[in-house]
Amino acid sequence: MPPALMHGGESLEGAQVLEEVQGPLGLLLWETYRDVALWATTQPDERDGLFASGAAAARKASMEAASAEPALERGLRGASVVLTDPAGAQEQDVMAACRQAADWAEQRGLLSTAVTLATAAALASPANAAAAFRVGQIARRHNQGARAETWFRRAVGLGRQAKDWASYSEAFLGLGNLYKLRGNYPAARRFLIRGLRAARRHALRDIQGRALHDLFTIAVETSPPAEAQELARLAFRAYGPRHPKLPALAHDVAYFWMSQGRFEPALEVFRAVLPHLNDPNERIICSGNVGRAAGATGERAVFDEAWEQVWGAAGEWDKLPLAAQAQLELAHGASSLRDWGRAERAAESARELGQRKSAGGVVIESEAVLDAVRRKRGPEQPTAEPAAAEDTQDLAADFVRSLRTVAAR
């Protein structure tokens, strides 16, 4: 079984928890990790008497002093069974408790704490492929690529051994997306195809949809448009009309169409997606894309509405990673409408916000748009291939119908 990295390079194992969460709560989380790790790496017949007699009482006092939120407290109390009954504590119970605590940390953006507690969960149940996959998933989100890869590879091995085909397939998708982030598209594609094949063999429809969705995003960058379009259609079929990731797929496909110059179907789909988005970051980029497509199709009223939605969130721009990109899309839309004043305003704002966020690509493109706008030159629109127009319209209609049906419920 491939070994996995237990920590991210800190001098004291788990010390990042103490840096991320200050005070008594941080100490409690760190102690929980260390206790579970010690218990998990001790042979079951040697666990009796592993901790000092007063350890359980001290932990109870620590939890009272830390005043943890109820969801976290339940996880920590569940994990403390290794102190109260080290010989009788069950792997699955300890793993579930640590995972609950890790989920609490991840939801609050405490990724160092989340990956540490997820590691505790995986150590508590070392044969559990899903627990290993979860460590890789959080580590990848935390930009710990090497650590994530070792856990994904371990999840592949554990999944094969236990015939846990869902975790086995998921782990290949995890590796594929990790390599996609690194820009290694050929390797990413190979891993995603392995995950797709495993999901098909075992009739895991949800994972098939996600694999095809990821393969579509790679095809957009590396393959002819017809291949990307076919993968989009296959992903739509695998997801089905009520899948929670359908809005994300629809948005990705609409952006692909927009980049191909197919603004009308893109606009239809962007507008159908918008009511499904609750996250402010997702809403602002979708509104920006609506504005760009509306500008290109001459839909001034729709563009005005998108402009108001993006500018209405001005107080939140610094908190939204995609706000600068949304403004850049509006600049393109305003330029298409020959609304030079708003085009310049949006491009300048996108450039300034992009500089603050170190978004080099947005800054460069914003400067190009500004230069064209000041010369009163509209954007050069890509030319769509006529042969694919009917197929695009059919898929757009499928997306819009599904999204509106779900929204109406």
Q: Which position has the token pair 């920006």?
A: 288
How does pLDDT run across 102-143, given as a tens digit for each residue?
999 999 999 999 999 999 999 999 999 999 999 999 999 999
Mean pLDDT to the nearest integer, 275-283: 95
Report whether pLDDT(408) > 80: no
- What pLDDT sits at residue 13? 78
pLDDT of 7: 76
Mean pLDDT across the stretch 296-312? 97
Average pLDDT over residues 288-300: 97
Task: Annotate 114-127 with b (16+ C-beta within 10 A) or e (fewer).
Answer: bbbbbbbbbbbbbe
Q: How confident is the model at residue 298 (pLDDT cuts 50, 70, 90)?
A: very high
HEC profile of the chain: CCCCCCCCCCCCCCHHHHHHCCHHHHHHHHHHHHHHHHHHCCCHHHCCCCCCCCHHHHHHHHHHHHCCCHHHHHHHHHHCHHHHCCCCCCHHHHHHHHHHHHHHHHHCCCHHHHHHHHHHHHHHCCCCHHHHHHHHHHHHHCCCHHHHHHHHHHHHHHHHHHCCHHHHHHHHHHHHHHHHHCCCHHHHHHHHHHHHHHHHHCCCHHHHHHHHHHHHHHHHHHCCHHHHHHHHHHHHHHHCCCCCCHHHHHHHHHHHHHHCCCHHHHHHHHHHHHHHCCCHHHHHHHHHHHHHHHHHCCCHHHHHHHHHHHHCCHHHHHHCCCHHHHHHHHHHHHHHCCCHHHHHHHHHHHHHHHHHCCCHHHHHHHHHHHHHHHCCCCCCCCCCCHHHHHHHHHHHHHHHHHHHHHHHC
Per-residue pLDDT band for 385 (boundaries 50, 70, 90) equals low
pLDDT in tens, 71-83: 999 999 999 999 9
**End-to-end C-alpha distance for the chain, whole angstroms:** 47
Question: Is pLDDT of 34 > 60?
Answer: yes
Question: Does the pLDDT value for residue 9 go beyond 90?
Answer: no
Measured CA to CA, the distance from residue 87 to residue 89 in angstroms comes to 6
**How many whole angstroms from its chain centre is CA 268?**
25
Domains in the chain (CATH in brackets) are: 1-127 (no CATH), 263-383 (1.25.40)
In this predicted structure, the answer to whether residue 8 has a pLDDT above a threshold of 90 is no
Q: Point out the least confidently predicted range of 135-149, 182-196, 261-275, 383-397.
A: 383-397
The half-sphere exposure of 94 on its side-chain side, counting CA atoms within 13 A, is 29
- Residue 251 sits at φ, ψ, to 5 deg, of -65, -45
Dihedral of CA atoms 181, 185, 186, 191 in degrees, nearest 10, equals: 50
**Over the stretch 212-262, which tens digit does the pLDDT of each residue have?**
999 999 999 999 999 999 999 999 999 998 899 999 999 999 999 999 999
Q: Can you give the pLDDT at residue 80? A: 95
Q: CB-based contacts of 2: which residues, under 8 Å, 6+ apart? A: 150, 153, 154, 157
Confidence of residue 409 (pLDDT cuts 50, 70, 90): low
Q: Is the pLDDT of residue 387 over 80?
A: no
Most confident of 54-63, 192-201, 380-389: 192-201
**% of the chain surpassing 90 pLDDT:** 89
At position 21, the amino acid (one-letter code) is V
| Position 407 pLDDT exceeds 90 | no
pLDDT score recorded for residue 197: 98
Predicted local distance difference test score (pLDDT) of residue 15:
85
Is residue 350 within 8 A of residue 364, CB to CB? The reply is no
Residue 257 near residue 266 (C-beta atoms within 8 A): yes
Structure tokens at 212: 């095809």
Q: Lowest mean pLDDT: which of 9-18, 99-108, 357-366?
A: 9-18
Q: What percent of the chain has pLDDT over 70?
A: 97
Phi/psi region, residue 338 (left: phi>0; alpha: psi -120 to 50; beta: rest), is left
pTM of the prediction? Answer: 0.91
Q: How much is the mean pLDDT over the chain?
A: 94
The Cα-based distances of 343 to 234, 242, 307, 367 in angstroms read: 37, 37, 11, 12
